[in-house]
Amino acid sequence: MNGVTKNRLKKWAILFIVWGWMLLFGSLMGYVERRMAYSFLLEDIMTFLQIALPVIAIAFTIYFLVGQRKDKRGKKMRVSLQYLWISLVVAMVLVNLIQYNVLHQINFELQHPLFMVLTAFTITITGVILRYRLIIIGGVLFGLLALAASYLKLPEQLLVESLAWLISFIIPGHLLHGKKTKPKP
């Protein structure tokens, strides 16, 4: 990796941090809703956060990407990553449509590991595009955790997914964002 790529990659680390924490929190909230008793106040707070956090993450991502448009050096990489993550969302919708056509219902205990596998593939390819080994490893581990989750009930799958987000997004994002760049002489 050359110096320009390291600096560009360090900027992109903020997206891994924002989305990683948002998705980890969302998975943990899903577990709490299904397995724990909690107060009405906490329920109201969780409902608010389930709406507010994705809106904030999407708004921040759009703001970030608009700011990055001025940097012409990373346009191909940026466009590739955007299409990759958009294709993940399309693939998830297709999985739901196929599952409904075949089973005539959505089996969430099947759907969740399938979504995790698609996400693992997308994370791994993201690591390849960025040439960052820790994200590639995180994507592979995400896939292995998807396999492990397929043996569990949905609430426990959400706990496993939380661990997967921590390993594949949050840790690499914080390590990358915290890296010191060498000053140019």
DSSP state of 74: G
Residue-level pLDDT at 127: 92
What number is the average pLDDT over the span 157-180? Answer: 91
pLDDT at position 4: 43
Pairwise CA distance, residues 101 & 103, whole Å: 6
Residue 100 has pLDDT above 90, yes or no: yes
pTM (predicted TM-score): 0.86
Distance CA(172)–CA(168), nearest Å, equals 7
Contact between residue 182 and residue 3 where contact means Cβ atoms under 8 Å apart: yes
Given this model, what pLDDT does residue 1 score?
Answer: 46
CB 170 within 8 A of CB 21: yes
Pick from 129, 167, 176: nearest CA to 146: 167
